[in-house]
Each structure stands twice: as C-alpha cells, then as structure tokens.
C-alpha cells in the first residue's frame, strides 16, 4: 500500500499542512527535499519550473503541491495533493474559529479580540512588504504599491479589479519604455 503513489502523496504533503507556520513559504524547502531527492517525482529543474508556474497563477503559492500531484498521478494526483495540503490546516483553523466565536460577548473574548486587532494590522502591512521582497520587482513594485494607496485614499470605493488593472498597466508601460 505504501507503493501507491496517491498514498505516498498524502504521506509527504499532509504533514506539511501543519508545518506551514507563518505562511506557505516555510514548506518549500521540505517539499523540495521530499519530491526531488527522496521520491524523485520531479527533477530539480522541473521543481523550479512548477514553482514559477504556481507563483504567476492566481491563488496561494502553495498550489505548487497541486502541480506535483499532477506530475505524479495526473488529475487525480492533483486533486489528492491539493486536499492533502489544505484539509489538515483547515480542520485546525475551523476548530479554532468555532471555539473563538462560541465565546463571543464575554469580557475576555472582547479583550483578546481588541488585543489581536493591532497585531493583525501590523502583520498585514508586514505581509505586503514581504510579498514585494519576494516578487523582487524593485522600485517599480514599491511605486505601484504606494500609487494604489494614493488612489484608494482619493477614491475609497474603487473596485479591486480596477486597481489590479492599474498596477498591471503601469508595469507594462514602464517595462515597455525602460525594458
């Protein structure tokens, strides 16, 4: 049974779900080790290629595991790999959210919620900085990010889709001129 590729996918990926602390970026190193060195499902070059695809497509960067499942066992493999990554952490999060919401209205719940709020806001700004660093788009990335801040201050109701299109247009225009 341990030779079944689908079982192997679950054995490799499911534990990573609960190891991804502070975001999915922490799973890339162990995932690479397991899929390239141990199970040899993909070559190192293929791994980087799949990583790049997951980065440029919408959704969490961790869709990389979906692609590895697809390489191993086609569509079913992709499905199994996706579920193996998202189910364990989602069950944990569900339990935490349910416990959390059950005690809504009590004094300590209000205090914890008030205390967590500035931490959430600080993490959000820090998360934006980390994405810019990871994307490695230099001054242009920062310029577009702050331009969007300015536009949202001026027009708070602007639709997100429009803002994303503005960002893409600026990048296209600048890259066309400067290269």
Partner 1 sequence: MPPAAQPVSLFALYKLCFIVGLCSFGGGLTAWFHREVVHVRGWLTDDEFFSGYALAQILPGVNSTNMAVYIGQHLRGAVGATVALIGLLTGPFAVVLAAASAYHQLIALPGFPAIMGGVAAAAVGMMFRLGMTSARGAYRHIPSMIVLMATFLAIGVMQWPLLPVVAVLTPLSIAAAWPRKPTTERHDDA
Residues 149-168 that bind partner 1 (CB under 8 A): 149, 152-153, 160-161, 163-164, 166-168
Give 18's contacts (C-beta < 8 A, 6+ positions apart): 88, 89, 92
Does residue 89 belong to the site contacting partner 1 (CB under 8 A)?
Answer: yes
Give residues 5-34 in contact with partner 1 (rule: CB under 8 A).
17-24
**DSSP SS3 for 136:** coil
Does residue 72 belong to the site contacting partner 1 (CB under 8 A)?
Answer: no
Of 84, 86, 89, which is closest to residue 34 (Cα–Cα)?
84
Report the C-alpha gap between 125 and 32 in whole angstroms.
29
Window of 3-11, 34-42, 171-179 that interacts with partner 1 by CB under 8 A? 171-179
In the set 49, 80, 155, 177, which binds partner 1 (CB under 8 A)?
49
In the set 50, 72, 73, 80, which binds partner 1 (CB under 8 A)?
50
Give residues 111-130 in contact with partner 1 (rule: CB under 8 A).
111-130
27 DSSP 8-state letter: G
Q: Which is nearer to partner 1, 8 or 20 (CB)?
A: 20
Report the C-alpha gap between 114 and 120 in whole angstroms.
10
């Amino acid at each position: 049974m341990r030779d079944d590729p689908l079982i192997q996918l679950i054995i490799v990926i499911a534990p990573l779900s609960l190891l991804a602390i502070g975001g999915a970026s922490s799973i890339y190193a162990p995932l690479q080790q397991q899929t390239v060195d141990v199970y040899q499902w993909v070559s190192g070059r293929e791994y980087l290629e799949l990583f790049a695809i997951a980065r440029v497509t919408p959704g969490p960067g961790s869709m990389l595991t979906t692609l590895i499942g697809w390489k191993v066992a086609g569509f079913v493999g992709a499905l199994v790999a996706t579920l193996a990554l998202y189910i364990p952490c989602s069950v944990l999060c569900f339990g935490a959210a349910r416990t959390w919401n059950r005690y809504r209205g009590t004094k300590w719940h209000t205090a914890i919620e008030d205390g967590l709020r500035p931490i959430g806001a600080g993490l959000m700004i820090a998360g934006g900085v980390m994405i810019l660093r990871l994307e490695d788009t230099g001054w242009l990335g920062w310029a577009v990010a702050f331009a969007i801040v300015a536009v949202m201050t001026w027009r708070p109701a602007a639709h997100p889709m429009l803002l994303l299109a503005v960002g893409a247009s600026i990048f296209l225009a600048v890259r066309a001129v400067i290269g």
